[in-house]
Chain A
Amino acid sequence: MNTTIDARGLVKAYGRHRALDGLDLTSTTGVTGLLGPNGAGKTTLLRVLATVLAADSGDLRILGKDPHDPEGRLHIRRSLGYLPQDAGFHRGFTAFEAVDYVAVLKEHTGARARHDEVRRVLDRVGLSDVANKKVRALSGGMRRRLGLAQALLGTPSLLVLDEPTAGLDPEQRMRFRDLVSEAGHGKTVVLSTHQTEDVAAVCSHVVVVKNGRALFAGTPTELAAVATGRVWVDTDRDPRAYAGWRLGAGTYHHIGDPPAGAQLVDPTIEDAYLLLLGPQVDLEGREVA
C-alpha cells in the first residue's frame, strides 16, 4: 500500500503547551478524517502536514519527502492542496481572480491553461455562475467552496482540509462530501472535522486525536466497533453513563459501562468517539459524571 504520510512521534509546542505530543499518523490513498475536540491538535497537525508549520521533533515523510529539507518541501508543495480553517480572500477580487491568483502561485504560469484550470475547479465546486462576482458578495458557504476550489487546483496528490464543512448548510455539506470522496479517489485527502457524520460518509480511515496524541487509528467501522456493547437506551437518565442525552422519543441514549439487562443498541462512530474521549463530557462538552 502506498504511504503518503508517515509521521512518527511528532511534537509541536507553543511555549509550554504541547499541541502535538508524540503523535503518530500513517495515511495512504483515500480520505483520512481527523476527529477530536477543540484544542486536540488537529489544526496544528494539518498545518504541519501542509508545510505551514515545522514540527519541533519527530520523523515526518510526506509523499516520500522530508518537509524540513527545502527541496523536499518544494516537492511536497507542488503536490499539495490546502484549505485552512480561515481561508481569507481579498474581498475586492472576483471568485475567478481569487483562484487565478492562487493558480499563479501554484506555478500555473501559462495564461490559457491556467484559466481553463480555474474554470474547471470553479465548476467542480459549483461556483461557475458566480465566477465574476466579488468575494465580498459571496455567502459564507460560497467562500468555503471557493477555498476548496483553490485547493483542488492542479489535482493535487495530497489534499489537506481543515474543517471543510464548517458553516455549510446540509445541502452544501452533501455536495462537499461528494467532492471530497471524488478527490480521494487515487489521491490522499486528510481532513479534520467535528462532524462524525462526515467521517462516516467519506472517510476510509479515521484518527481520533486528543491532547496532541492519536487515541485511535483505523477504519470508521473499526472505530464504531470500539463502542460495541457499551451503548444502551433507557427510559431514564443513567448517572453512571460516561455520556448520555435525551432522544426525541423521550428515551435516553447512554455510553459507558451498561448495567445488567440494559437494552443495548448498535454503536455509531459518534458513540465510539465520545467513549474514546473519556467519561467526563457529553456532546456539548459538559461534565456528566
Chain B
Amino acid sequence: MSVITAPPVRSLVPALARQEAGRLLRHPLVLFGFGLWVWNAGLAIVDDGGPREAFQTVDSMLSFFPGIFLILAANLVATRDGRAGSRELLTPAPGRLEERVKALLLASLAPTLLGLVLVSVLHGYFLLDGRYEVAPTFWHLLQGPVTLFGACALGIMLAEWLPARGTAVIAMVAMVLLNAWLGGLEDGMLFGPLMTWPIWGVLADDWAGLFPGDAWGHVVYLVGLCGMAATAALVRASDRPRPVVVVGLLTVVVAVAGGLAQLP
C-alpha cells in the first residue's frame, strides 16, 4: 500500500479567508469604491458642509461607496473558479465548497473592518473639529461597516444561487431602486440598506435633527439581514444544510426583532 499522508487537523478556512480577504481588498471595484469614499470624505473635510453633511458622511456614505461596488466585487471573487474553468481541478481537493464559502464570508470582514477604521478616523476628526450638532453614536458609526459585510454576503449568496453573469449587476441596481422606493415610504428608509439619519432642512447645511428611530435597532436589523444572506449562501454549499437552516431562521428572527425595535 502506498503511504497515505497524515490528515491535517487544522481547518483551512482561516488560511483561505486570509487569501480571499487580500483578493477582495485588492479588487479594482473595491479600490475604486473606497477611493470614492476617501475622495468624498476629503471633500467633506476641506469644504465644511455643515453638521448634516458631517453626520451622513460617517453614518451612510460607506453603504453607497464602496457598498454598492462590493456586491459585484464579492460576487466576482466568489464566481472566480467557475469563470476560470477551475472547478474540475479543484473538485478533488480536500477543501470542500462549504469551507470555501465560509472563507469568503470570513474574508468579507476585511472590508467591513477597513470601513470601520475609516469611519472611526473621520468621526474622530469631525469630533475634534466640532463639526457635529449632535454626535453620532457607536451604532450610527457601525451601520455603514455592517452594510459592507451585507453587500459581500449578498454577492456571495448570488454566486451560489444564481451564478450567471450579470445577476450581481442587477442586484446592485435593484438595491439602489429598493432604497429609493423605501425612502418614499413613512419609516421606509429604516428598512433600506442605506439609512441617512439627519433630516434635510430647508437649506443644505441646515441641521433639522435626526430621523426618528433607534440606531441600535437598525444595526440589529442589518445584522439580521447579513445573517440571512450569509446562511443562504452557506446552505447551498453545505453538506449538512439543516443546522444552517436553523441558524438562518434565527437570523430572520433577529432581522424582524431589529426591524421592529428600530421603529420610532
Binding site for B on A (CB under 8 A): 2-4, 29, 47, 50-52, 63-64, 74-75, 77-80, 82-84, 86-91, 100-102, 104-111, 114, 147, 150, 154, 157-158, 187-188
Contact = CB atoms under 8 A, between A and B. Distances in A.
B184 to A, nearest CB: 41
Contacts of B8: 78, 107-109
Given A105-B16, A105-B90, A109-B12, A188 B2 contact: yes
A63 B89 contact: no
Main secondary structure of the interface of B (DSSP, over half): loop
Interface stretch (B77-85, B143-151, B218-226): B77-85
Nearest to B18: A111
A63 B1 contact: yes
11 contacts: A75-B7, A77-B93, A88-B85, A89-B89, A90-B83, A101-B19, A102-B93, A104-B16, A105-B12, A105-B100, A109-B14
A150 B89 contact: yes
B243 to A, nearest CB: 17
B93 A86 contact: no
Chain A binding surface SS class: loop
Q: Name, among B7, B14, B15, B19, the residue most crowded by chain A CB atoms within 10 Å (CB to CB).
A: B15
A147 B89 contact: yes
B2 A87 contact: no
The residue among B2, B86, B90 with the most chain A CB atoms within 10 A of its own CB is: B2
Contacts of A114: 15
Nearest to B80: A90
**What 8 pairs across the A-B complex have the smallest Cβ distances?**
A88-B85, A105-B95, A105-B93, A157-B2, A90-B84, A109-B15, A84-B88, A107-B8
Given A87-B88, A88-B84, A106-B95, A79 B4 contact: yes
Contact of A158 (B2, B16, B94): B2
A90 B81 contact: yes
Max chain A Cβ within 10 angstroms of own Cβ: one of B1, B11, B83, B94: B94
B91 interface: yes
A52 B88 contact: yes
B5 interface: yes
Contact of A78 (B1, B80, B94): B94
A76 to B, nearest CB: 8
B88 A78 contact: no
A97 to B, nearest CB: 8
Most chain B beta-carbon contacts within 10 A, residue among A101, A105, A158, A188: A105
